[in-house]
Amino acid sequence: MTNHFARLWNRVRLAPAPLRTSEGDPIVISPDARVSLDQNGAVFLHARRGIVFTSNRIGALIWQGLVDREAVETIAARISREGGAGLHRVRQDTTQFIADLETHGFLFRRIGY
């Protein structure tokens, strides 16, 4: 029996140079974020709060883009190109997913950085 939570755990620390959004505010991944990625999606665990959040594979691609410190526009363009969806819609969905991760404490923004 496979332990689905024992898959690849992506433990992320604060990045020394946070990712900047299109709004200019840097996104920082919470040191409490623990994420398990696979080909079907991602499971997010906020270690301090005990919050579990799941996503499909598009959410996993967005997360991986954030970990790789890609700009939000770059992440949306890649997903749009690979999935054949309109860039405007993908950009909106990517921005909303990032906002949801921020609301749940997996990300935060440094205002005026």
Orientation of helix 72-83 relative to helix 87-103, angle to 10°: 130
Instruction: Give me the domain span that covers residue 69.
Output: 8-13+21-107
> Is residue 92 domain-resident?
yes
- The mean per-residue pLDDT over the stretch 26-45 comes to 93
Q: Quote the number of domains for the chain.
A: 1
Could you tell me the CATH number of the domain that includes residue 82? 1.10.10
> Is residue 2 domain-resident?
no
Q: Give the 3-state secondary structure of 83-99.
A: HCCCHHHHHHHHHHHHH
> Is residue 1 domain-resident?
no
- pLDDT surpassing 80 at residue 34: yes
In this prediction the pTM is 0.75
Contact assessment for residue 42 and residue 58, using Cβ atoms and an 8 Å cutoff = no
Across the chain, mean pLDDT equals 81
